[in-house]
Homo-oligomer: A and B are copies of this chain.
Amino acid sequence: MSSYQAPISDMTFNLFDVWQLDQYWQTNAQLQDLIEGDTAKAILEEAAKICEQQIAPFAGEADQRGAQLTNGVVSLPAHYHTAYQSLVEGGWTGLSGDPEYGGMGMPKALSMMVDEMLCSADIAFSLYPGLTAGACVALLQHADDATKQTYLPKLYSGEWSGTMCLTESHAGSDLGIMRTMAKPNDDGSYAINGSKIFITAGEHELTANIIHLVLAKLPDAPAGSRGISLFLVPKYLLNETSEPGERNAVTVGSIEHKMGINGSATCVLNFDDAKGYLIGEPHRGLSCMFTMMNYERLSMGSQGLGAAERAYQNALAYAKERLQGRTTSQDPNKADAIIGHPDVQRMLLNIKAMNEAGRTFATWVAALLDKSKYDNCTISGQRANLLTPITKAFMTDQGLDACVTAQQIFGGHGYIKEWGMEQLVRDVRIAQIYEGTNGIQAADFMLRKVAADEGTVLLSLLDDITDELATRPLIEAAPLTNAITDLRQLTAQLLTKDNTTLAGAACDYLALVSYVLYGYMWYKNLLALDDSKHSRNFIAAKTHTASWYFKRILPRAAGIKAILSNDAASLYTLAPEHF
């Protein structure tokens, strides 16, 4: 099985040097008592221990055994229970939770790094605490205070866990056509009837209760997506002392056999007059759920990055050890380590450059979310909103790419299960699909986040970056200035086009913007380097990898621009029979 060591020095570099969040935390009234630099570092180190020692070494076993369904009961790999208990005992399940309800109140920029570690350790395992955290965000924002008092402390403590139940077999991303119904009961609760599929962590015995957040339609619901409401449906109904009592009518029909994340129980859940409680306003369930979805979308980025980081570490170690071919040796019977081959360096640098830019990017987006939340900063909120689909789509696309490339460095051994590289490929693949496919993310980005406001938020961001580049120019980052100019030009051109053209261009456009912004991330990495703080090796690696990015990766933007510059309106109209 592949090994894993949390990249704490790059994490603290991002937190403290690139984005100087320790300084920001001190300026904020809510955060200043909760967190400062040393605490943050200690938190990362403690999280690393659990991930490195209790989860990562057993990810291969979890993959092989998987979640199993027997007589309606889902059993998980045994070490999932002990590792989960460690999370509970350390308070990790409430890391980003609201302190008013027992959470630790840590900023997203920090909790996201713990997410990354959990994903490196085992994406399948990470989903159990991950879904709970998402459910808490939705409840915190949309539930009434009594509900929050009842459920949030138990969810933050990890005693209970959460799910999100959206998908039905005929309705994937098209929630408007869902069929699950909610009929009012006399006591103010609702009787939920229907069947949901692909429910992550839908059934298991890690926790004493599971709180399902379920989308369903009320009898008087308007048609389509404006007629969906959100319901809280506990696996065990609470008794008078708010402890799990009677079993609710939610049962698991089956669990899916998947390409990967086998330790995650992906359930078909049947609701047969299950008792549920309305959360938020009737018919406003979709916007409630989007609160949770947006949170999850950021976590998806951590899945891409987490798998890519682990893939990189193992490919690097292998490249240093594996002797094949001659680079410096002259002896035909002696081989050199493959890291000496330019093509292996190319693969490693491609992964490294994208991973480190990805980590800086994720920290940036999380910090924007924090500033939006703690300082009510409008522009930070708008930018986080703009960048969310990139975090989800681009970071997971890069995650697959990194894992495939790292697997390639292993040659034939990369294809064999025992090395663990192929599992990373299988596991990370799902992140491009769930929580809204990357195509849906791209459409959201192009149409809603860029075209809908005529590019205002994006262009103001590009203005600020341009100003920063002018104020603190770095010769290495010169290609970034040109790339931004090209991006502006193309954006202006695209904004004159019809929606079909935009929808067809969306995936490429999202990638183009991402490459430019990753260039900005490398610029920020370079800016943050400091002889007095960082080791020579650290500075050499960062400087070299930045050059690699600007010379060997950023030019990909030119190809995408060339694609999108061609007029293509007529190309998305091929009749089905002509395919």
Contact = CB atoms under 8 A, between A and B. Distances in A.
Interface of A: 167, 170-174, 176-177, 197-198, 223-226, 256-260, 316, 320, 323-325, 331-335, 337, 339, 341-349, 352, 400, 404, 407-408, 411-412, 414-418, 422, 425-426, 429-430, 432-434, 437-439, 442-443, 500-501, 503-504, 506-507, 537, 540-541, 544-545, 547-548, 551-553, 555-563, 565-568, 570-579
A173 B410 CA distance: 12
B173 A325 contact: yes
A198 to B, nearest CB: 5
Contacts of A172: 324, 411-412
Contacts of A325: 173-174
A566 B552 contact: yes
Given A173-B324, A176-B332, A579-B352, A548 B571 contact: yes
Contacts of A570: 547
A170 B226 CA distance: 62
A541 B197 CA distance: 36
Contact of A258 (B333, B422, B548, B572): B422
A197 B197 CA distance: 42
B574 A541 contact: yes
30 contacts: A167-B412, A170-B323, A171-B335, A172-B324, A174-B325, A177-B335, A223-B333, A257-B416, A258-B422, A259-B422, A316-B579, A320-B576, A339-B579, A342-B500, A342-B501, A342-B504, A342-B572, A352-B579, A408-B433, A408-B439, A412-B433, A415-B433, A426-B426, A541-B574, A541-B578, A547-B571, A551-B563, A553-B563, A555-B559, A556-B562
Contacts of A556: 559, 562-563
A344 B579 contact: no
A316 B197 CA distance: 23
Contacts of A540: 575, 578
B173 A411 contact: yes
Given A342-B503, A439-B408, A578-B537, A258 B415 contact: yes
Which 9 A-B pairs give the minimum distances between C-beta atoms?
A: A559-B559, A224-B332, A555-B562, A342-B504, A259-B422, A342-B572, A558-B562, A342-B503, A551-B566
Identify the interface centre among A223, A346, A400: most chain B CB within 10 Å of its CB.
A346
Contacts of A177: 323, 333-335
A412 B198 contact: yes
Nearest to A567: B551
Mostly, the A contact residues are helix
A129 B194 CA distance: 50
Integer count of this chain's copies in the complex: 2
Contacts of A256: 416-417
Given A167-B412, A343-B442, A415-B430, 4 more contacts: A256-B416, A259-B417, A412-B434, A544-B578
Nearest to A543: B578
Nearest to A312: B579
Given A333-B177, A418-B257, A439 B344 contact: yes
A467 B182 CA distance: 70
B503 A341 contact: yes
Contacts of A342: 500-501, 503-504, 506, 572
A167 B324 CA distance: 12
Contacts of A579: 316, 339, 348, 352, 541
Nearest to A553: B563
Contacts of A259: 415-417, 422, 425-426
B408 A437 contact: yes
A349 B571 contact: yes
A577 B339 CA distance: 11
A438 B408 contact: yes
Contacts of A562: 555-556, 558-559
A575 B345 CA distance: 10
B223 A335 contact: no
Given A256-B416, A571-B551, A574-B345, A333 B422 contact: no
Nearest to A440: B343
Contacts of A544: 571, 574, 578
B339 A576 contact: yes
A398 to B, nearest CB: 13
B425 A411 contact: no
A343 B400 CA distance: 20
Nearest to A541: B578
Nearest to A552: B563
Given A223-B333, A556-B559, A579-B348, A432 B408 contact: yes
Contacts of A573: 345
Contacts of A257: 416-418
A223 B332 contact: yes
Given A258-B415, A415-B430, A343 B504 contact: yes
A47 to B, nearest CB: 24
Nearest to A536: B578
Contacts of A561: 558
Identify the interface centre among A174, A347, A559: most chain B CB within 10 Å of its CB.
A559
B504 A345 contact: yes
Contact of A559 (B226, B548, B551, B558): B558
A494 to B, nearest CB: 13
A337 B558 CA distance: 33
A163 to B, nearest CB: 15
